[in-house]
Amino acid sequence: MAAFLTGCLFLSSCENDEAEIKSLFTKKLGVEEAKIITLTFTTGGKTKAILTSPLMLRVQDTITYIEFPKTLEVNFYDEEGKIESTMTALYGRYRESENIVFLKDSVKVINTKKETLNTDELYWDRSRTGYEFYTEKPVRIRTLTHMINGIGMEASQDFKQRHIKKTTGMIKIPASQFPM
């Protein structure tokens, strides 16, 4: 009888809760949050860009990334420290290991000549030289005299050099008749 009771006690105490076991092996993402941030990107000790955002999330996953879910603005600087272009978007994600910033939702770039790029998605690849910005999505470029529509584009950080992969339309419009 004692052996029977010991066996019953042993069998009843060996039961594990399945949810408890799964929780031991489930990886939780680490998320760090910062509000009202300013990030400075430098090369050779010179400021190349300053990014500001009301909210930054640093997500520790298999690939660490930084997310800007509530808008961001980036000012790009020339060799003399003067702003050469400004980029804004409603959302951004920076993949640190690849040195690439992905922007989406109302992406806009304006240079010192008041030339404007509008697109839904844009990549800013900090490791490229010459054409740091690129997209495969539709773009609209507004200069002082023209509005150019196209699909896919590469552009320099100062937005002075650019190449539209497939131009879908070009309209000549006097600056006085077309708001920026």
User: In the chain, what are the domain boundaries?
Assistant: 29-177
Mean pLDDT of 127-153: 90
Residues of the chain with pLDDT > 90, as a percent, come to 50
Question: What's the pLDDT at 146?
Answer: 87
Amino acid at the residue 20: E
Question: What's the pLDDT at 38?
Answer: 95
C-alpha distances out from residue 136 to 61, 100, 150, 152, Å: 27, 15, 10, 4
**Cross-strand bridge partners of residue 30:** 60
pLDDT band at 5 (very low <50, low <70, confident <90, very high): very low
Among the residue ranges 23-27, 48-52, 82-86, 111-115, the one predicted with the least confidence is 23-27
Q: Check residues 53 and 79 and name the one with the higher pLDDT.
A: 53
pLDDT band at 17 (very low <50, low <70, confident <90, very high): low
Name the average pLDDT for the chain: 84
96-139 confidence digits (pLDDT tens): 888 899 999 999 999 999 899 999 999 988 777 777 899 999 99
Max CA separation in the chain (angstroms): 102
- Asked if pLDDT for residue 9 goes beyond 50, the answer is no
- Asked if pLDDT for residue 15 goes beyond 90, the answer is no
Fold of 29-177: lipopolysaccharide transport protein A fold (2.60.450)
- Asked if pLDDT for residue 29 goes beyond 80, the answer is no
C-alpha distances out from residue 172 to 5, 87, 119, 142, 150, Å: 93, 25, 20, 10, 15
Question: What's the pLDDT at 88?
Answer: 96
Burial class (CB in 10 A: 0-12, 13-18, 19+), 77: buried
Distance CA 131, CA 127 (A): 10
39-77 confidence digits (pLDDT tens): 998 888 899 899 999 999 999 888 889 999 999 999 999
